[in-house]
Structure 1
């Protein structure tokens, strides 16, 4: 589906979210360091466990409201809250107010996300969703590649200017949503009884989540996703610990008796940058290559590539070998990325699409909660012990995805 054929809703969102995401990655990777310098590393570590809780609440709330009030009002609510909180962050006289603003920014983003994803599903035919979701993921990863390099300078030297830039971009995006984006809530999801009280409406929405979490297929999907993401998220977790502590300084290239030497920390930076670059260059082509693959096969392949690639990191410390296995586990993440959103958008009933999108985010939040366990266990286990646990999580994920689609296909038969 070529971009020029997209609905204006999608074009506005692609530009707005892509630009904001670059600014987001200019501050997010350094926020723990910032609070660690101002409040102490121990306190900062505890504080960083709180945002996932607000993300869960925001995603569930945003998904429920998106099905009742519509996609556009909830996107406006999320964007406006983030705009105000970035301004508060820029004006804040206190580190604790900084933290409160940071929490509220994440909460606003969590409210926005299910409505935004549901809008794509509303507008795009099922057979085209993988490609469209891949385009949005690519735009986000351009920011993830460029943002940290720029943020290393701007966040610490021009933090207020950066935060004001985030606020201004989000304000412009809010205005664009208000004047250009139209509502896409399906007719089947529109509530006819508007006289019901707000309390009754929320009870109905949370009852809807109860039905979702009794859905055996959906629960297996979430559980399989958690194990898969525990593996995938090691790029930002145990990989850093392993490379810095076990990979020696070495030459990247040799020429004319000279060499480009990289320290362990620099090798980590090169691997992370390389992984992000692969996403930007190959996500859309890979999505096209696997367009006709069954979703089950894509999910299983993703788990296997991620698990085997991550496990292989512990087999050798040569930098070019590390680049090779980084390619393997990054491709594992890439083949999975667009399919997750297209599967749940197709599986969810039209009238509850926002709620399913909100509940779907639980696999990311719970996966992010459990992924650091590998770092904790590394104090007692050698690297190959940790990599074996990571591989086991990937294999469990592959088995669960196989079971999930067996039950799903039997239910459709």
Structure 2
């Protein structure tokens, strides 16, 4: 599906999402260091566990709003909340107010995301969704490649100016959504259905999510996603520990008497940089390559490649082999991303798509919450044992995906079972 044929909703949001994610990666990687300097490492480590949990519930609420009030109102609420919180962060005289504003930015993003993903599915034909989602993944990851480098300059030296820039961009995005984005909520769901007090609506929200999680195929899908997310998160967790503690300084390139050497920190930087660069360059080609593969095979290949690449790292400390293995991992990671949202958009009923998108995000929130267990395991297991545990998680997800697609045809589609959501 060529970009110039896209719906106007998608074009505006691709530009807005890409620009915002560039700014996001200019401040996000430095927040732990920022709060560590303000509160100390112990307090900061506990404080940084709170935003993902708050975001989990905000994402569920955002999905509920997207299906009941509409995609557009949920996106407007999420974007204006982010703009206000960035302004508070920029004006804040207190580190605690900084922290509250930081949580608020995350809440706004979590409310925005399910509605955003649901809108992509609403306006995109099913056959084109993988490529469209892959394009959004590419746009988001441009920020992950260039944002940290820019942030090392602007966040450290011009933090207030950066926060005001984030405020302005999110506010302009809010105005663009308000003036240019049309509602895409299916006619079968809408505000007219919602009557009663706010308390009754909240109770109804939790009841609806209870029905979603009682949907056997979707529950298996969430558990499989949690297992593979535990592995994906190790790029920023155990892999950093392994490279720092076990990989020695060594030359990356040498010619005659000249050599270019890297210490362990430099090697890890190159590995993460290669991961981000490949994500940007390969998202669309890899999605195109697997365009005619069914979702089952892509999920299985993704988990197997990522787990194998990670496990093989436990056998070497050679920088070039580590770069080869992270390439294998990245191909697995890239192949999965567009298919995840595409699968949910196909599986979910159109009038509950936002809630399913919000519920789907639980796999990432819970996976991120469990992922630090590898740091604990590393205190009494050798590296190969920890990498073996990570590989086991990906193999468990492979088994669960096989189970998922075996029971899927035997279960009535979510469109009919949960039409009353």
Tell me the TM-score normalised to structure 1 length: 0.98
Alpha-carbon distance between aligned partners in 2 of 1:63 and 1:192, rounded to the nearest angstrom: 17
Q: Is the 8 A contact 2:87 2:163 kept in 1?
A: yes
Q: In structure 1, how many angstroms separate the alpha carbons of the residues matched to 2:28 and 2:205? A: 32
Tell me the equivalent position of 2:152: 152
Counterpart in the other structure of 1:369? 369
Residue matched to 1:323? 323
User: CA contact under 8 A between 2:228 and 2:393: conserved in structure 1?
Assistant: yes
Q: How does 1:203-218 map to 2 (within 5 A)?
A: 203-218=203-218
Deviation (angstroms), 1:373:
0.8
TM-fit CA distance, 1:197: 3.1
Task: Look up the match of 1:182.
Answer: 182
Instruction: State how far apart, in whole Å, the 2-side matches of 1:56 and 1:126 are.
Output: 27
Secondary structure, aligned partner of 2:276: helix
Q: Which residue does 1:385 correspond to in 2?
A: 385
* Superposed displacement of residue 377, structure 1: 1.4
Partner of 1:192: 192
Question: 1:275-331: CA deviations, max 9, x gaps?
Answer: 000011111011011011011111011110011100011111111100100001111
1:310 — aligned with what? 310
Deviation at 1:268, TM superposition (A): 0.5
Per-residue deviation, residues 45-85 of structure 1 (Å, max 9, x unmatched): 00011011111111010000111100001100000000010
- How far apart, in 2, do the equivalents of 1:192 and 1:151 lie? 45
TM-superposition CA deviations, 1:171-220 (whole Å, max 9, x none): 11111111100100011112434553333333222211111011010100
Q: Which residue of 1 aligns with 2:140?
A: 140
1:37 Cα deviation after fit: 1.1
Q: Distance in 2 between matches of 1:195 and 1:129?
A: 34
**Offset at 1:412?**
5.5
Count, aligned residues: 413
Taking a change above 3 Å as real, the CA distance of residues 221 and 267 of structure 1, as seen in their structure-2 partners, is same
How far apart, CA to CA, are the structure 2 residues paired with 1:382 and 1:201?
51
Map residues 125-274 of structure 1 onto 2, 5 A cutoff. Answer: 125-193=125-193, 195-274=195-274
Could you tell me how far apart the structure 1 residues matched to 2:376 and 2:34 are? Answer: 22
Q: Distance in 1 between matches of 2:264 and 2:151?
A: 21
Q: How far apart in 2 are the matches of 1:307 and 1:196? A: 49
Q: Is contact 2:194–2:201 with CA below 8 Å preserved after alignment?
A: no
Q: How many Å separate the matches in 1 of 2:36 and 2:89? A: 17
CA contact (8 A) 2:222 2:360 kept: yes
Q: Where does residue 44 of structure 2 map in the other structure? A: 44
List runs of 5+ in structure 2 lacking aligned partners.
Answer: 414-421
2:408 aligns to what SS in structure 1? helix
Q: 1:68 is matched with which residue?
A: 68
RMSD: 1.1
Q: 1:280, 1:195 → 2: CA distance?
A: 45
Give, in whole Å, the separation in 2 of the partners of 1:375 and 1:402: 29
Q: Distance in 2 between matches of 1:114 and 1:384?
A: 38
Q: Is the 8 A contact 2:68 2:194 kept in 1?
A: no
Task: Please give the alpha-carbon distance, in whole angstroms, between the structure 2 residues aligned to 1:38 and 1:191.
Answer: 44
Instruction: Note closer, same or farther for the CA distance 1:244–1:32 as it changes in structure 2 (3 Å cut).
Output: same
Aligned to 1:10: 10
Per the alignment, residue 285 of structure 1 pairs with 285
TM-score (normalised: structure 2): 0.96
CA separation in 1, counterparts of 2:170 and 2:210?
34
Partner Cα distance (2:295, 2:257) in 1:
50
Whether contact under 8 Å (2:27, 2:148) holds in the other structure is yes
CA distance in 1 between partners of 2:231 and 2:327 (Å): 15
- Aligned equivalents of 2:74, 2:334: Cα separation in 1: 29
